Amino acid sequence: MGLLELFFIAVGLSMDAFAVSICKGLKMPKLHLSQGFTIALLFGGFQAVMPLLGWILGKQFEAYITSIDHWIAFILLSIIGIKMIVEALRDNGEEEEGGGFSLKELLVLSIATSIDALAVGITFAFLQVSIVPAVSFIGITTFILAYIGVLIGKAFGVKFKSKAEIAGGVILILIGLKILLEHLGIV
List pLDDT tens digits, range 71-86: 877 887 788 778 878 8
- Please list, in sequence order, all residues whose beta carbon lies within 8 angstroms of the beta carbon of residue 72, skipping any fewer than 6 positions away: 65, 122, 123, 126
Say whether 21 sits in a helix, a strand or coil: helix
Please tell me the predicted confidence (pLDDT) of residue 97: 43
Judge whether 125 and 54 are in contact, CB under 8 Å.
Answer: yes
Q: Rounded to an integer, what distance in angstroms lies between the CA atom of residue 116 and that of residue 73?
A: 12
- Please list, in sequence order, all residues whose beta carbon lies within 8 angstroms of the beta carbon of residue 30, skipping any fewer than 6 positions away: none
Please tell me the predicted confidence (pLDDT) of residue 157: 53
Phi-psi label, residue 27: left if phi above 0, alpha if psi -120 to 50, beta otherwise:
alpha
Mean pLDDT for all residues in the chain:
81
List pLDDT tens digits, range 158-175: 566 677 667 767 877 887
Asked if residue 42 has pLDDT above 90, the reply is yes
Please tell me the predicted confidence (pLDDT) of residue 82: 87
Taking the whole predicted model, whether its pTM rises above 0.85 is answered as no
List pLDDT tens digits, range 112-154: 888 888 888 988 888 878 999 999 999 999 999 999 988 887 7
Query: What is the DSSP-derived secondary structure letter of residue 94?
Result: P
